[in-house]
Amino acid sequence: MRPILFLLCILGSFASGFSSNLSNSPSYSKPKSIAKMPPYAPKSGVLANGKSKSMAVRGGELKSTNDSTGEAQSPLSPLSPLSRFIQLSSSLYGTGGVMYILIKAIRRVYPIALEPFAEGAIPMTQLQLGAYIATCLWFAYVEGYKGFQTKFAPLVVSRSLTIELGLSKIHHLLLAPLYSMGLFHATKKRMIVSWSVSLGVAAIVVAVKKLPYPWRNIIDAGVVAGLSWGCLSILLHYIKALVTGNSPADPALPKKD
């Protein structure tokens, strides 16, 4: 029983450490509208000739503009249907790719989680059944709600909205799911957290595989609950961002020197 409690504590620590509460960061102000400013927040100034100057984050990079309106100079207008379609396609690949990774993980462990209820399986004791239910609820809250819904999902959606075909670097576009997870081209703190969680979860998966029946099944049931909640929360955050025009969190992009 001690190894089970130990693994639960470790999993809880990693789930709670998906990221800091980025949306409440004092240095970050949400863009007013994705439709009007996709997906960047301009910072305006005035040049010596009286024209406005703005710095905007597009394609994961700071772009400098110099015109009387302060809008980004781009071959595609931010308000044009073509620009919106390209942005939607790029961000959908980033967000959808992360969801695909989660769905694949759910499909792998789902049969194992249901194994104790299969015909011919050794029935669980009342204690084990109670642990099964409690683990599902615990993972749903700690990993699903605290880890994904309030932290990781907003980050993924916000970073995916900074990807734009023709403006983002090619490897940002090709590796959009990994980019959206903050595994590269992010602040130092964000990359440390993202890589620590990814490697930590991988190590825990190896450890869980060595657990005897039915404890491995109990842990996997919790994982299914947490990842399912997380996958749904990413989808809802993405839909909400498209409908409301608001980016849900700071994308944690690296600052330019």
30-40 tens-digit pLDDT: 444 444 444 43
State the Cα–Cα distance between residues 235 and 98, nearest whole angstrom. Answer: 10
Percent of the chain at pLDDT > 70 equals 69
Res. 235: pLDDT tops 90: yes
| pLDDT level of residue 61 (50, 70, 90 thresholds) | low
Residue 160 has pLDDT above 60, yes or no: yes
Judge whether residue 217 has pLDDT over 90. Answer: yes
Average pLDDT over residues 11-17: 48
Residue in 163, 152, 180 with CA at minimum distance from that of residue 90: 163
CA 149 – CA 22 distance, rounded (Å): 12
pLDDT tier at 78, thresholds 50, 70, 90: low
Give me the pLDDT at residue 83, please. 72
pLDDT given at position 168: 85
DSSP state of 88: H
Confidence class of residue 109 from pLDDT cuts 50, 70 and 90? very high
Residue range 187-193: average pLDDT?
94
**How much is the pLDDT for 256?**
72
Of residues 73 and 168, more confidence is placed in 168
Mean pLDDT, all residues of the chain: 78
- Looking at residue 82, its pLDDT comes to 74
Better pLDDT: 229 or 8: 229
Q: State both tokens at 99.
A: 């969801």
- Asked if pLDDT for residue 2 goes beyond 80, the answer is no
Distances (CA, A) of 64 to 9, 60, 61, 153: 47, 13, 10, 29
Amino acid found at 206: V
Strands (E), the chain: 43-46, 52-58, 61-67
pLDDT in tens, 236-251: 999 999 999 888 999 9
| φ and ψ of 62, to 5 deg | -80, 125
Does residue 79 contact residue 35 with C-beta atoms inside 8 Å? yes
Does residue 161 surpass a pLDDT of 70? yes
Residue 44 in this model has a pLDDT that exceeds 90:
no
DSSP 164: -
Q: What is the pLDDT of residue 86?
A: 76
Residue 49: pLDDT above 90?
A: no
Q: What confidence score (pLDDT) does residue 201 get?
A: 86
Calpha distance 57→61 (Å, rounded):
5
Q: What is the pLDDT of residue 59?
A: 56
How far apart CA 10 and CA 16 sit, in angstroms, is 10
Instruction: List, in order, residues 6 or more apart from 225 with CB less than 8 Å away.
Output: 136, 137, 139, 140, 143, 144
Q: Do 136 and 218 meet the contact criterion of CB atoms below 8 Å apart?
A: no
In angstroms, what is the C-alpha Rg of the chain? Answer: 21
* Separation between Cα atoms, residue 128 and residue 213, nearest integer Å: 10
Check residue 163 and report its DSSP letter: -
At residue 48 the predicted structure's pLDDT band, cuts being 50, 70 and 90, is very low
Nearest to 8 by CA among 204, 249, 174: 204
**29 Rama class: left (phi>0) / alpha (psi -120 to 50) / beta:** beta
Give the percent of the chain with pLDDT over 90: 56
pLDDT (0 to 100) of residue 103 = 96
Amino acid at 243: V
